[in-house]
Amino acid sequence: MRYARQKKYIEANEIDRNYPVGIKSPKFITGFALRTLFIINPKSGAPKFVSRLQNLILSYFGTDDQEVSIIKSHNPAHVREIAHREANEGAFMVVAVGGDGTVNMTAQGLIGTDTILGVIPTGSGNGFARNVGIPLQLEKALKLLKEPDIATIDVGSVDDRIFLVTCGIGWEAVIASVFEGSKVRGIFPYATAALSTFLQYEPQQVEIYAEPGGWHFSGRPMMLSVANMRELGVNVTISPEARTDDGLLDICMIPRQDLLGVLKYTPEMFRQRTDTIPGYVRRLASELVIHRQIAGNIHLDGYPVSSGEEITIKVIPAALKIICRKEKLS
């Protein structure tokens, strides 16, 4: 009965801080220091799921020592704006509820602050969550937020944008663009996007210059990813040895394969043995410049964005505090 009364109070006291409509715990008005904000991507589930999620959040976090707000975002840029504002106002934690795109935008608002990024993964790939040990089950993810490990990780940057997991420039960027236009999410639509683009994809000639060491590469890789973490998502590994705390990014390349080669070696990416694929290249870099023949989309954490013929990528060391399982990062 107590929780039923609390829920009624919440629904009758919607927040208004220049944000979209949201709800907050009754404890929010008491002024305790530990303030936590949940940003929900409303496209992350059906209305009944979102309603259940809100109730679960409040049952876990509506306590005497925490201020809790729940907000539904309007669009990706709005997610970043909300997170940035909360960090400036001293929030303890901002939790992204959605897929890797929502996580990326939330992180953009928190870079260089003391506010911690939490995640409840509800996307299709959930690459960030898988890499840092966040459970994909809703209640287990909420429990981790209550009993977390906290780590500080590096972040990759491309111009004024960031990536937490990977930046893709090759075939994987084409797949991401096609997949983004699909109304159905999950591994099977992603596989369909991969197959539908494979026969038409022709790798571009690229020149890569990387530091430290003045390393240079010239060639036509089929896959060209710059990784901050090991997995792309759905357990597909691009850099088995990648670390998030070494101040370096992993340049990873796989040469052109015929269809038989793709079918033969793709399972190795699921087994965390990508480095056994013939011709696989991995190089560590703090900064790199990629020159390519034709401008077009790249992907940042699976989200396609347009980019030019010259792409400059840098690492931002120790830029973001996150909730995780530390053994997963080691």
323: in domain: no
For the record, the structure tokens of 108 come out as 């953009």
Task: Summarize pLDDT for 180-220 with one digit per residue, the tens.
Answer: 766 666 666 677 777 778 888 889 999 999 999 999 999 99
CATH of the domain at 110: 3.40.50.10330
**Are 218 and 269 within one domain?**
yes
- Cis peptide bond upstream of 255, omega within 30: no
- Residue 325 covered by a domain: no
14, amino acid identity: E
Residues 263 and 174 in one domain: yes
Domain boundary among 148, 176, 196: 148
- The larger pLDDT score, comparing residue 179 to residue 299, is at 299
* Domains contained in the chain, number: 2
Measured at the CA of 66, the angle between CA 63 and CA 70, to 5 degrees, comes to 95
Residues 12 and 90 in one domain: yes
**In this structure, which amino acid lies at residue 92?**
F
Whole-model pTM: value is 0.84
Task: Examine the domain organization and report whether 215 and 141 are in the same domain.
Answer: no
By CB atoms closer than 10 A (0-12, 13-18, 19+), residue 7 is: middle
CA distances from 208 to 85, 87, 255, 262, 291 (A): 37, 36, 15, 24, 6
Q: Are residues 166 and 271 in the same domain?
A: yes
The pLDDT value recorded for residue 186 is 65
Mean pLDDT of the chain: 84
Q: What are phi and psi of 128, to 5 degrees?
A: -60, -50
Last residue of a domain, one of 92, 113, 148: 148
Q: Same domain for 58 and 169?
A: no
The parent domain of residue 248 ranges over 161-318
